[in-house]
Amino acid sequence: MLNGLQFGVMLFLMSAGLTLVFGVMGLINLAHGSLYMIGAFAAAAVAAATGSFVLALMASLAAAALAGALIELTIIRRLYDRDHLDQVLATFALILIFSEGTRWMFGSFPLFLDVPPMLAGPVTLPGGIEYPAYRLSIIVIGLLVAVGMFALINRTRVGIRIRAGEADREMIAALGVDIAKLYTFVFALGAALAGFAGALVGAIQSVQVGMGEPVLILAFVVIVIGGIGSIKGAFVGALLVGITDTMGRFLLPQIFALFLEPSAAVSVGSALASMLIYILMAGVLVFRPRGLYGVA
Amino acid sequence: MKLRSAALAAAMALAGATAQADVKVGMITTLSGGGAGLGIDVRDGFMLAVKQAGRDDLEVVIEDDQRKPDIAVQLADKMIQSEKVDVLTGIIWSNLAMAVVPAATAQGKFYLSPNAGPSPLAGKGCHPNYFNVAWQNDNLHEAAGAYANDSGLKNSFILAPNYPAGKDALTGYKRFFEGELAGELYTKLGQTDYAAEIAQIRASGADSVYFFLPGGMGISFLKQYAASGVDLPLVGPAFSFDQGILQAVGDAAMGVKNTSQWNKDIDNATNAAFVETFQAEYGRQPSLYASQGFDTANLLISAMGKADVADADAFRAALKAAEFDSVRGDFAFGDNHHPVQNIYVREVIKEGDVYTNKIIATGLTNHADAYAADCKM
């Protein structure tokens, strides 16, 4: 259950940026997974150079935000008025460029980020459950970011503008808001969150070229479930997907083991478990075609 | 003038003769992603032997399959049809081998496996042109099962990726392990998060964990296992504790027992020279994958010395004879073209700053695989 929560929180970091960009700017950004990868690589490089995990995390934020702002200014900006097919093509090209670029700089062998010693090892939670301290801190950080995002969107002036941009692009431009600057900011923010997620996850898994794409697919599932453009939707969707996936992988093989032989149960169970989140998505879409918190 | 044209004709005839005897090798291996370490080691071991042989009638074409079966099949088609290779080699992963090898051998090409040894290709699906220089997949796991019995383990939790070699791995372990199974789990190939699996291990009440997770998967698993606070003893094949994995995992792997057909302390002159020259050439210690690549190239070179690759029957017989100096000591093929060899038990130790393995016992002696009887050729 905690694992599901941790996975969900990580997915939230990833999909919050994606849903903002998609909702506010109407842009399908396939290169979001590359930003996740950039964050992880930046963190791995800085951690190797300085040995400090905190610096590595800051580097991941900065590098991904910088890369995000850069591609927004040079490429993405030209895509807002095009249709979705052009956007998909252009951002897919970005994936290839970033992947090959990273491979060229860092090589194709996976890098490994170490968990900071302070957080290595397990902690005992109330109820006697042992749980890795690092994963617990990911949950806490993710929840803090979620709270921060809510506050940003709902309580600040920038948030008001973002929401306004979502509702009516022309109108806020007419009211004198510099929409281009706003878009760059939103895009960089989304990129920074993705990069941050990459760095956090890089420490428990491996940092390698192409690590972003599987997560990107899940992030799209999350924002479709949650409703496009809704931070709240992304949060609820991410937790739903994270918990469904983890619990499914854990419980389904056991359920099948009750009436099948072990190896068959495992293969049927894991096959079904990997379908589970898509079934969840289909189910949600049947009842709420615009997602849980989508605006009709 | 006459002399010149005669010289030209002679030169052309010579060129023709060497062109005929040239051997072109297509190497399809994994050079990117989480499985890259294995492919790079096989390639480097192979190329080291090629370089040492110094033959200019041997050409190697290397391509990256990205651990994707569809790409491996495309590469194999390209190599066979447009590059006109004589011999294919290099594949790391059994699912890719199953996609490529039967088609390639059916087209009359030789395939020398430096790693993958899926059970169908050792049994009913064996082929005269298919030689496995590494092992049949089950072998190392069988030795691990035998070792687990010897060390008094009674209740193992076993896990492996869900692909042909993963199934062979657990089958091999179960064939020799006499205790109970606390749980049996297949994970996704290339999976990087093992939190759910580790939770199951914790809940299972096992007395040991046997896992087969090669490459990046093993690194992720070991790091997460160390952080989880579960402290059951680990047992694995060498793939879970090879040279690349150990450096990334560090202390978490110290003292773990694992099984291998090779280690750098096997005492023979070829092996000592291999370990030394590999270190000098690439600046790192060789892994078992590198040793397999090295043996594969030397097997090929030994056959080239005896027969022309155009004469398939003679070339096949030369490969089968396997008269080359293996880093494993004596090397012999069984009737199904898979090695019959010793499998050793190793322990993870630290030498200076480098984590490595040392042999502590011989697990199985002159061990052949369980499928040889099904092979009719």
Q: What ranges do the domains of chain B cover? A: 2-135+267-339, 138-260+342-374
Give the Cα separation of B20 and B307 in Å (integer): 12
Domains B2-135+267-339 and B138-260+342-374 share a fold: yes
Q: How far is B162 from chain A (nearest CA, A)?
A: 8
Q: How far is B192 from chain A (nearest CA, A)?
A: 5
B192 part of contact set with chain A, CB < 8 Å: yes
pLDDT of residue B14: 46
Q: How far is B167 from chain A (nearest CA, A)?
A: 9
Where is B185: in which H helix or E strand? strand B180-187
Amino acid (1-letter code) at residue A112: F
Cα angle: B262, vertex B265, B269; to 5 degrees: 95
Which chain B residues are within 8 Å of A120, Cβ to Cβ?
226-227
pLDDT of residue B358: 92
pLDDT of residue A295: 64
B188 part of contact set with chain A, CB < 8 Å: yes
Residue showing tokens 């899940």: A218
Which two structure tokens, joined as six digits, stand for A266?
Answer: 């495992």
Which two structure tokens, joined as six digits, stand for A146?
Answer: 């979620």
Q: How far is B193 from chain A (nearest CA, A)?
A: 6
Class of domain B138-260+342-374 as given by CATH:
alpha beta
Low-confidence ranges of chain A (pLDDT < 50): none
Query: Among candidates A9, A204, A248, which has minimal Cα distance to B192?
Result: A204
Name which of B65, B159, B167, B186 to mutate to probe chain A: the one with the most chain A Cβ atoms within 10 A of its Cβ: B186
Cβ neighbours for A70, distance < 8 A, ≥ 6 positions apart = none
Which two structure tokens, joined as six digits, stand for A269?
Answer: 């169970």
Q: For residues B281-300, b (16+ Cβ closer than 10 Å) or e, as one string?
A: ebeebbbbbbbbbbbbbbbb
State pLDDT tens for residues A123-159: 777 776 778 888 888 888 888 988 998 888 888 888 8
ipTM for the whole complex: 0.72
Per-residue tens of pLDDT for chain B, all 377 residues: 454 555 545 444 444 444 445 899 999 999 887 788 899 999 999 999 999 998 889 999 999 998 899 999 999 999 999 999 999 999 999 999 999 999 999 999 999 999 999 999 999 999 999 999 999 999 999 999 999 999 899 999 999 998 888 989 999 999 999 999 988 888 888 888 888 888 889 888 899 999 999 888 888 898 888 888 888 999 999 988 888 888 878 888 888 899 999 999 999 999 999 999 999 999 989 999 999 999 999 999 999 999 999 999 999 999 999 999 999 988 999 999 999 999 999 999 998 888 899 999 898 999 999 999 899 88
Give the Cα separation of B174 and B172 in Å (integer): 5
Give the Cα separation of B286 and B263 in Å (integer): 9
Which residues are B26's β-sheet partners? B61, B88
Where is A243: in which H helix or E strand? helix A231-257
Cβ atoms of residues A135 and A204 within 8 Å = yes
Query: Among candidates B178, B173, B165, B17, which has minimal Cα distance to B92?
Result: B165
Chain A CA closest to residue B224 = A204
pLDDT of residue A214: 83
Name which of A205, A207, A244 to mutate to probe chain B: the one with the most chain B Cβ atoms within 10 A of its Cβ: A205
Cβ neighbours for B266, distance < 8 A, ≥ 6 positions apart = B327, B328, B329, B344, B359
3-state secondary structure at position B367: strand
pLDDT of residue A248: 82
Chain B CA closest to residue A6 = B195
Which chain A residues are within 8 Å of B196, Cβ to Cβ?
3, 246, 249-250
pLDDT of residue B20: 44
Cβ atoms of residues B258 and B236 within 8 Å = yes
- Give the global pTM: 0.79
Which chain A residues are within 8 Å of B192, Cβ to Cβ?
205-206, 211
Which chain B residues are within 8 Å of A6, Cβ to Cβ?
195
Give the Cα separation of A255 and A58 in Å (integer): 43
Nearest Cβ partner of B34 from A208, A246, A274? A208
Cα angle: A277, vertex A282, A285; to 5 degrees: 125
What is the architecture, at CATH level 2, of domain B2-135+267-339? 3-Layer(aba) Sandwich (3.40)
Cα angle: A91, vertex A97, A100; to 5 degrees: 140
Which chain B residues are within 8 Å of A253, Cβ to Cβ?
185
Nearest Cβ partner of B219 from A112, A122, A267? A112
Q: Torsions phi, psi of B276, nearest 5? A: -70, -45
- The full length of chain B comes to 377
